Structure formats: C-alpha cells, structure tokens
Amino acid sequence: MKYRIFLTRAAKRGLGSLASDVLQRVDSAILALGDDPRPSGCKKLRGEENFWRIRVGDYRVIYQVFDKELVIDIIQVGHRREIYR
C-alpha cells in the first residue's frame, strides 16, 4: 500500500532553504516514506504520541503517520541543531 504524503507550510519552508544537493537527498527520503513509513533507522519522538523522525545526513525530517487513512504528514524539515526548537 502506498501512503499519501502531505507537507505543512513549515516543512515547505524548510525544504526551500536547503541546498540543491541536500534537497535531492531529503526529497528522495521523503518519497521513500510513501512505501515504508517506518524505515530502519527511524525513531519515535518521546513526548509525542505519533511523531517520528528520519535522519538524512545532518538533516532531520519530522513526520506523523496515520495508518488508517494511509497518510503521512511531514511536519518539519531542517538541520539537526535547529529542528527540535
């Protein structure tokens, strides 16, 4: 089953600020979530019920998975030193 992927305004802003080589890597990682929403290496964020994160080098993608609706919401994309603020 393929999940639909939606981006929040903050995620779009984060993607827009990335360099083109990083953007390609992050974009392919986001698209891969459609096939496997919890790939190896993903981590569930503590303190949040349904928030997950994946690493792409020094960058992080924070997202939510809704299994019943087959939807993934990309919440935020950014550098690891700034993403959790």
Give the structural domain span for 43.
Answer: 4-79
- Is 85 inside any structural domain? no
- The tens digit of pLDDT for each residue in 6-43 reads 999 999 999 999 999 999 999 999 999 999 999 999 99
- Is 53 inside any structural domain? yes
Q: Distances in Å between the alpha carbon of 55 and those of 60, 62, 69? A: 5, 9, 25
Give me 47's structure tokens: 């303190």
Number of domains composing the chain: 1
- Is 84 inside any structural domain? no
CATH assignment of the domain containing 9: 3.30.2310.20
CA separation for the pair 84, 35 (Å, rounded): 26
- The tens digit of pLDDT for each residue in 55-82 reads 999 999 999 999 999 999 999 999 999 8
